[in-house]
A and B are shown apart, each in its own frame.
Chain A
Amino acid sequence: AQSVTQLGSHVSVSEGALVLLRCNYSSSVPPYLFWYVQYPNQGLQLLLKYTTGATLVKGINGFEAEFKKSETSFHLTKPSAHMSDAAEYFCAVSYTGNQFYFGTGTSLTVIP
């Protein structure tokens, strides 16, 4: 069965430090990959996506992610954390476009 694993339900970083949020998928067929951000009491906002082409994908707010097929990973990074980055982050995969699988989420705390 397809699944998405986000290692680390909580991640804390200092302001200005590197942000690394991990996501791994389990399937033999590479899916379409997405990262979403959720602020309190709001829906999910797309950060970035990987479909085909360049494996390093740049998204909004300075985030980027790299698709590594050999590692079945799609980790999210940002060189320098900002206080406004504090939120819940979800990795998601899709194979057909009508069925999405979400990870359990990672709560990012930014320490001033």
Chain B
Amino acid sequence: GAVVSQHPSWVICKSGTSVKIECRSLDFQATTMFWYRQFPKQSLMLMATSNEGSKATYEQGVEKDKFLINHASLTLSTLTVTSAHPEDSSFYICSAPPGQEGYNSPLHFGNGTRLTVT
């Protein structure tokens, strides 16, 4: 089945630094990837949709300059949290939509990244 690899699985950084999270589709091409943020005991909040070769589409309320998304190739999307602050600490998950598999196929999720900003 389709596999999405997300790296790193956890990261601790100091306030003011930037952190990059990678999301790779291992055995399929993903022209689109979704980035979610999940707070403890809550559902997934869609942050943005990255599109290969074009600008990402951000959801309302998500700071574009803070959460930089780049979809450089058909198998790689990255999320960079710039000038991180403790309130950015969260669980970030990427996923790829069915795409060519068909519209009734499920999302393929990465295993998430636990970000802690000290």
Total residue contacts A-B, CB cutoff 8 A: 63
Q: Bound complex: CA of A98 vs CA of B97, how far in Å?
A: 6
Interface string of B96-118 (1 = CB under 8 A from A): 01110011111101111010000
Stretch at the interface among A19-27, A65-73, A77-85, A100-108: A100-108
Q: Answer whether residue A18 sits at the interface, using C-beta atoms and an 8 A cutoff.
A: no
Task: Establish whether residues A107 and B103, one from each chain, have CB atoms under 8 Å apart when the complex forms.
Answer: no
Q: Which residue in A32, A36, A43, A104 is a CB contact (below 8 Å) of B42?
A: A104
- Cβ contact within 8 Å between B42 and A105: yes
A28 in the interface (beta carbon within 8 A): no
Given A34-B106, A94-B103, A100-B107, decide whether A42 and B112 contact each other with a Cβ distance below 8 A.
yes
**Does B44 belong to the interface (CB within 8 Å)?**
yes
Contact of B104 among A41, A42, A49, A92 (CB under 8 A): A49
Bits for B5-44, please: 1 = Cβ < 8 Å to A, else 0.
0100110000000000000000000001010000001111
Q: How many residues of A contact B (CB 8 A)?
A: 26
A97 and B102 contacting across the interface, CB-CB below 8 Å: yes
Residues of the B chain whose Cβ atoms lie less than 8 Å from the Cβ of A9: 41
Query: Judging by beta carbons under 8 Å apart, are A41 and B41 in contact?
Result: no
Complex Cα distance, B40 from A9, in Å, reads 13
Chain A 30-49 interface 0/1 with B at a Cβ cutoff of 8 Å (1 = within)? 00101010000111111001
Of the residues B9, B93, B103, contact of A97 by C-beta under 8 Å? B103
State whether B93 touches A96 (Cβ < 8 A). Answer: no
The 6 closest A-B pairs by CB, nearest first: A97-B103, A51-B104, A43-B109, A43-B111, A44-B109, A104-B43
Binding site for B on A (CB under 8 A): 9, 32, 34, 36, 41-46, 49, 51-52, 88, 90, 92, 94, 96-98, 100, 102-105, 107
